[in-house]
Structure 1
Amino acid sequence: MNLTEAYSYCKHIASHYENFPVGLLVAKNLAPHVHAIYAFSRIADDYADEGYSLKEKEREDEQKRKKRLDSLETWRAYLLDPKLCAKNPVFLALHDTIEKFQLPLNLFTDLLDAFKQDVLKDRYENFEEVLNYCKKSANPIGRLVLYLHRQTTDLQLLSSDCICTALQLANFWQDISIDLKKNRIYLPKDEMEQYKVNEAELFARHFSSNFRDLLSFQVKRTEELFDKGKVLIDTLGWPLKLEIALTWYGGKTILDKIKKINYNTLASRPKLGYKDIPSLLFKSLRRIYRKRANQEIAFF
């Protein structure tokens, strides 16, 4: 298999899984490299989540768990030693991308660590543990996008981390009912105790004022992270600026939808739909052009 065929294979994987708005605004010359990174992450994530048709709280046997972990370790070996995977199309494309853009390998190993954690860990003692997971599961993706665009100042990387962590947290809070089916709870244990919410109530989908207050607290701290990262939009060029703005407003909209259902994500899962696209696009463009106008006024 040659390099062109390898990138085509990655594109096929990305097109099979990809949802709006991921990748719609990627520059044409960068698209193959985004597909390579996406294919690597998507397949590894599938290894981590393989077999999750289990009933709530049902444990998979150790043999199946070991198989999932072994698959992830094979992925890690392929990442660290190109000689082991000369015929694997995903890694043929990925190693070419890594070399061309000098991408830090630790960003990929962090992702694999997060996928491994998905297999081994389903409870989090405190918010620091949740943030450490986000640091490995979400932040590397944002940083890789910035590296591809050669936008890697300290401000850009740290702002990206804030946005990516906030996006991951927003996903946790909207997906509580989904994650319960996988026996995963991302609400910190110590804060559940503080707000007097227990696991039995979660699995029973019992919505209470205590749960509402707990999730309201989580949403507020997530909004603060989004706000800390918003400055990233203003440092970027077109079209990445628009893509990040759409992503930022998309995450904030999810939090707004959680508020509108009174924080009851035990009963339903708020999500973005095609009806949200005009609003997201309007808000994103308004943000970009207002900022540009203010800068022009300041210049004169």
Structure 2
Amino acid sequence: MTPDDYCQQKAAASGSSFYYSFLFLPPDRRRAIMALYAFCREVDDVVDECQDPALASTKLAWWRQEVDRVAGGQPQHPVGQALQAAGKSFNLPAEQLLEIIDGMEMDLQQARYLDFKGLSLYCYRVASVVGLLAAEIFGFQDRQTLRYAHDLGMAFQLTNIIRDIGEDARRGRIYIPMDELKQFHVPAADILNGRYSDNFTALMQFQMERAERYYDQALAQLPAIDRKSQRPGLIMAAIYRTLLREIKAENYQVLHQRIALTPVRKLWIAWKTWAFA
């Protein structure tokens, strides 16, 4: 199996909506974004699947060394090898790859966020940095596109937090800021124990409206000259905003289930967005 095959399988097996946005890219850009996505999956899986925080920290330290080996031309892992190949054509700074690992490591250090300022740093590291790297791979002419990529990454991560709130709670994590739980009179115990209430619904509506503002802000900042090259991000935005509407239609019943779109629906949205964006 080649490094590219490994990354392709890693991306496809995840079932992520991101996978559908990559399918329409030219081969060189598709290989590069698959490598970046596989890297994110590898380091995220370390945190989500490793029960021992000390072991997870050790594994993340190994990935930090692998990023250094990628920069030095001697990667060991198939994902590292694919990233090295991608780096010959696209600007993928080691500093930004390391910052993604910094974000994953935050999950080993804290399970709560006092306010949105603290959560924003986490979202920046695990999502906006990925968006900035992806923008480099997709290609752009106007640097304003990087502001779009930053805000779109924030919107994606806020959507993930809404979608995964129950799943995260079962891991002992609550990403919704503590001051907002207090503002809406939702005890953390309600999240952890899967208890719904009118206050919880109002809290989730607040979270969704903030995510929507980031989508609106991002799309307003995308220069017309880069719209076609950045279509994968527009596909993701279309899929994720459809998901948000589904969650709202289900009255934010996200504590006991993971609401998702079917693969066929994602593919339809991806094709339609690519054709008409």
Give your verdict on TM over 0.5.
Answer: yes
Instruction: Give yes or no for contact 2:21–2:233 (8 Å, CA) kept in 1.
Output: no
Instruction: Give yes or no for contact 2:4–2:82 (8 Å, CA) kept in 1.
Output: yes
Mean Cα displacement is larger for which, 84-93 or 256-265?
Answer: 84-93
CA distance in 1, matches of 2:223, 2:276: 9
CA distance in 1, matches of 2:37, 2:139: 18
CA distance in 2, matches of 1:34, 1:286: 20
Residue identity over aligned pairs, in percent, reads: 26
1:156 alignment counterpart: 145
1:175–1:15: structure 2 CA closer, same or farther, 3 Å change rule? closer
Tell me the secondary structure at the aligned position of residue 100 of structure 1. coil
1:49–1:98: structure 2 CA closer, same or farther, 3 Å change rule? same
CA distance in 1, matches of 2:164, 2:14: 19
Tell me the secondary structure at the aligned position of residue 230 of structure 1. helix
Of 75, 86, 92, the match for 2:63? 75
2:111 alignment counterpart: 122
Does 2:19 match 1:30? no
**1:61-117 deviation line (CA, Å, top 9, x unaligned):** xxx211110110111012124459544332223123224323222220111001111
CA distance in 2, matches of 1:68, 1:278: 34
2:46 alignment counterpart: 47
Superposed CA RMSD: 2.5
1:285–1:27: structure 2 CA closer, same or farther, 3 Å change rule? closer
1:16 alignment counterpart: 13
Runs (5+) with no aligned partner, structure 1: 52-59, 289-300
Question: 1:1-300 to 2 correspondence within 5 Å?
Answer: 5-19=2-16, 20-51=19-50, 64-82=52-70, 85-151=74-140, 153-231=142-220, 232=222, 234-236=224-226, 238=228, 240-274=229-263, 276-277=265-266, 280=269, 284=273, 288=277
Instruction: Give yes or no for contact 1:205–1:266 (8 Å, CA) kept in 2.
Output: yes
CA distance in 2, matches of 1:5, 1:267: 39
CA distance in 1, matches of 2:274, 2:37: 26
Mean Cα displacement is larger for which, 152-161 or 86-95?
Answer: 86-95
CA distance in 1, matches of 2:124, 2:134: 15
1:56 alignment counterpart: none
TM-score (norm 1): 0.81
**Letter in structure 2 aligned against 1:138:** A
Q: CA deviation at 1:189?
A: 0.2
Moved over 4 A (4+): 82-86
Instruction: Give yes or no for contact 2:46–2:59 (8 Å, CA) kept in 1.
Output: yes
Q: CA deviation at 1:222?
A: 1.0
CA distance in 2, matches of 1:182, 1:35: 27
- Return the index of the structure with the highest Cα Rg: 1
TM-score (norm 2): 0.88
CA distance in 1, matches of 2:126, 2:272: 28
Tell me the secondary structure at the aligned position of residue 222 of structure 1. helix
Tell me the secondary structure at the aligned position of residue 243 of structure 1. helix
